[in-house]
Amino acid sequence: MISVEEAKSLIQQTISLTANHKKVTLIDALGEILAEDLYAPIALPPFRQSAMDGYGVRFEDLSHQGDFTIQAIVPAGSTEKVKLQAGKAVRIFTGAPVPDEVDTIIIQEMAEEKDGKVAFEDRPYRMGQNIRPVGEQIEEGDFAVKKGQRLTPEVISFIASLGVTELEVYQKPSIGILANGDELMPIGYPLSYGQIYESNTIGLKHALHQAGYTSTESYHTLDIQEEVIQRIKEASEKHDFLLLSGGISVGDYDYVGTSLDYLGCEKIFYKVKQKPGKPLFFGKLNDCYVFALPGNPAAALTCFHEYVYPALNQYCGLGFQQLQTIKVPIATEYHKKGDRAQFLKATLRDGKAHLLQGQASSMLRAFTEASGYIYIPKEQGITKEGELVEVRLLLR
């Protein structure tokens, strides 16, 4: 058995950035990952721009007493070039192009306009005030967005302001999810004695989609060795990643491990010193990365968040990006039994991490209240009330 840290290190060493590239339009870029550095094709702003509604003047004219005749009105979007005359002003609005001769804009709250003239309050003004210079945000040709950046609405909006219409992004992986077990029934069908509803493929599929990985396909196989072998073979040939749920332990009807051996899957590691999720397998079957997750649903989701999620991110150019982790005080003292690391579902309230009831690997209900889970290292036995603990925040 290896530690949590060793398991993550092995995954990081094994998974290379192998995703292909594709072009997408900006409209379809949400959630994609940029595959090349982006440089600004234009400056922002591309012209001297008014930062406020007000009046544009020559700074030197402000030393003269008296009203200013309003020579022209310059709204946002104006394409007419105005040449400001000495001693006069232009009425100008936020976002409008600033005439070359204007070097100061006085906001409308400090001005009084009447009969085509404007007077300003007697106060000190600064040359250049309320004018955005060309390239204030970014100069033409400057570095704009780094390779490996996930394209959020905010990033896309910035790129759109540069006039870019297409982007080179990483092709996200195709992911198969295979649940194994005679006892599993699809939702929508009545249960017979001894059967349970299969929830892992649905939970994992939605966890993948929430993380931005939407190319998924789900499968189910009974506890029959030949069927398990055939399903794994077919799915591994079709997908870049294969997530197996259940059948990885050493019971009489756990055929996943022996099936992977039969198919020649390269084992990177099997079993991690953690709770829940000890029987976790990671390997490579030809060109497909394989994670065999525990069948217990809470354990399967915990292993997904801890190992599969950062592995997918590394594959797609984000690096081994894990769940956001914060440190907060634990609300109650906790005594850890044994020498395994633990992941404990918790909710954040009043600036503290509160442990939830129902921590068993088979129990999902606590996830309905959880903000994330507390990580207790294997060497830590007692965690005292108020002690800072690491909390992995679930994706929301």
Give the pLDDT confidence score for residue 348 in this predicted structure. 97
Q: What are phi and psi of 119, to 5 degrees?
A: -120, 145
* 180-205 mean pLDDT: 90
Cis peptide, bond prior to residue 45, ω within 30 of zero = yes
The domain spans of the chain are 4-19+172-315, 22-38+146-170, 49-132, 325-393
Q: Predicted confidence band at 301 (pLDDT cuts at 50, 70, 90)? A: very high
How many beta carbons lie within 10 A of that of residue 70, not counting itself?
16
Give the pLDDT confidence score for residue 186 in this predicted structure. 87
B/e letters for 163-200, b = 16+ CB within 10 Å, e = fewer, are ebeebebbbbbbbbbbbbbebbbeeeeeeeeeeeebbb
State how far Cα 90 lies from the chain centre. 46
Q: Look at the domain 4-19+172-315 and name its fold.
A: Molybdenum Cofactor Biosythetic Enzyme; Chain A (3.40.980)
| pLDDT tens string 321-358 | 999 999 999 999 999 999 999 999 999 999 999 999 99
Mean pLDDT estimate for the chain: 94
Distances (CA, A) of 251 to 2, 188, 230, 264: 21, 29, 20, 21
Question: Tokens 């509160």 appear where?
Answer: 354
Distance, CA of 301 to CA of 309 (rounded, Å): 10
Distance, CA of 159 to CA of 20 (rounded, Å): 22
Distance, CA of 246 to CA of 295 (rounded, Å): 4
The 3-class secondary structure across 312-363, one letter per residue, is HHHHCCCCCCCCCEEEEEECCCEECCCCCEEEEEEEEECCEEEECCCCCCCC
DSSP string, 113-150: EETTEEEE-SS---TTTTEEPTTSSB-TTSEEE-TT-B
* 139-155 mean pLDDT: 96
Distances (CA, A) of 185 to 188, 193, 200, 201, 311: 9, 11, 11, 12, 30
Give the torsion through C-alpha atoms of 191, 196, 201, 204, to 10 deg: 130
Q: Predicted confidence band at 181 (pLDDT cuts at 50, 70, 90)? A: confident
| pLDDT tens string 68-110 | 999 999 999 999 999 999 999 999 999 999 999 999 999 999 9
| pLDDT tens string 49-72 | 999 999 999 999 998 778 999 999
Distance, CA of 221 to CA of 27 (rounded, Å): 39
Distance, CA of 323 to CA of 310 (rounded, Å): 8
| pLDDT tens string 26-51 | 999 999 999 999 999 999 999 999 99
| Domain 325-393 in this protein, CATH class | mainly beta
Q: Predicted confidence band at 18 (pLDDT cuts at 50, 70, 90)? A: low
CA angle 205, 396, 378 (to 5 degrees): 85
Distance, CA of 180 to CA of 287 (rounded, Å): 22
Domains 22-38+146-170 and 49-132 share a fold: no
Architecture of domain 49-132: Beta Complex (2.170)
| pLDDT tens string 223-234 | 889 999 999 999
Please state which of the four CATH numbers 3.30.499.10, 3.40.50.1980, 3.90.105.10, 3.40.50.80 is assigned to the domain occupying 22-38+146-170: 3.90.105.10
Give the pLDDT confidence score for residue 311 in this predicted structure. 97
Give the pLDDT confidence score for residue 251 in this predicted structure. 66
| pLDDT tens string 194-215 | 998 889 999 999 999 999 999 9
Give the pLDDT confidence score for residue 249 in this predicted structure. 75
**Higher confidence at residue 282 or residue 318?**
282
Give the pLDDT confidence score for residue 252 in this predicted structure. 61
